[in-house]
Amino acid sequence: MKKELIFLGPPACGKGTQTNMLSEYLGFPHIDTGSLLRAEIAKGSDDGKIAKTFIDKGQLVPPELVGNIIKNRLKEDDCTAGYVLDGYPRSLAQAQMLEKINKEVDSEAADFKAIYFDIDTQILIDRIVHRQSCPKCGEIYNKKFKPSKKENYCDKCNVELKTRADDNEETAKARFDTYYRETAPLIEFYENKGVLHKIDANGSIDEVWSRLLNIINK
């Protein structure tokens, strides 16, 4: 049976790492809306050209356009057996739109799971405020959880690591407040449909991966 997997979770919860691993493990495409929009713009598709006009003005791409781009992607042959969708939906309206998209795309019954990464907020704040990245290769480090071998320098490039100006506790808390406020209706929506699976995202990558596989293989 086709597997349709979507992932919900606050910033820095680790779902990006896990969804990449899961995509490779299952052989399904990993689809995230940011990369998808950039790809459409890069190839100059009609939807990409329209999206670019909004992005160039600093405006949000209309939800109907994002939905259409996602629908076209889910129609592609590599999604026949399933997909791993990350970063969508982010609102109740988008969740309802995804339901319509799946009904249009699916030729038979599918196994749909919404997986919510449940994690302690203080851990997330620590991950963000201690985060560093290499300006050359993009490698991510964390002073507390994953420090570089040479303090403040990339292990690969030996380039001085940078910290984003908005990676501070005040900004992080504001981002989480916004996320939880906007996501609460989604959690209830999928809970009521009996397709929500909560995963304890506290712990190491391997520990979370093991818990994720238990859910996927049910």
pLDDT at 116: 95
Active site residues: 15, 90, 131, 164, 175
Answer whether residue 96 is part of any domain: yes
- Using CA atoms, how far apart are residues 138 and 63, in angstroms rounded to an integer? 30
Q: Exposed (0-12), middle (13-18) or buried (19+): which is 147, by Cβ within 10 Å? A: middle
pTM of the model: 0.81
pLDDT band at 218 (very low <50, low <70, confident <90, very high): confident
DSSP letters, 24-89, are: HHHT--EEEHHHHHHHHHHHT-HHHHHHHHHHHTTPPPPHHHHHHHHHHHHTSGGGSSEEEEES--
% pLDDT > 90, the chain:
56
The whole-number average pLDDT for the span 33-52 is 90
Answer whether residue 37 is part of any domain: no
Higher pLDDT, 192 or 170: 192
Q: Which domain holds residue 88?
A: 2-29+76-119+171-216
pLDDT at 50: 94
* Mean pLDDT computed over every residue of the chain: 90
Longest dimension (CA), the chain: 54
Q: Tens digits of per-residue pLDDT, 75-109?
A: 999 999 999 998 899 889 999 999 999 999 998 88
| Residue 13 belongs to domain with CATH number | 3.40.50.300
Answer whether residue 10 is part of any domain: yes
Answer whether residue 192 is part of any domain: yes
Answer whether residue 154 is part of any domain: no
The whole-number average pLDDT for the span 146-162 is 94
Answer whether residue 180 is part of any domain: yes
Answer whether residue 143 is part of any domain: no
The whole-number average pLDDT for the span 193-208 is 93
- Using CA atoms, how far apart are residues 139 and 130, in angstroms rounded to an integer? 14
Q: How many domains does the chain have?
A: 1
Answer whether residue 198 is part of any domain: yes
User: Which two three-digit tokens encode residue 92?
Assistant: 């109740």
Most confident of the ranges 30-39, 95-104, 177-186: 95-104
pLDDT at 65: 93
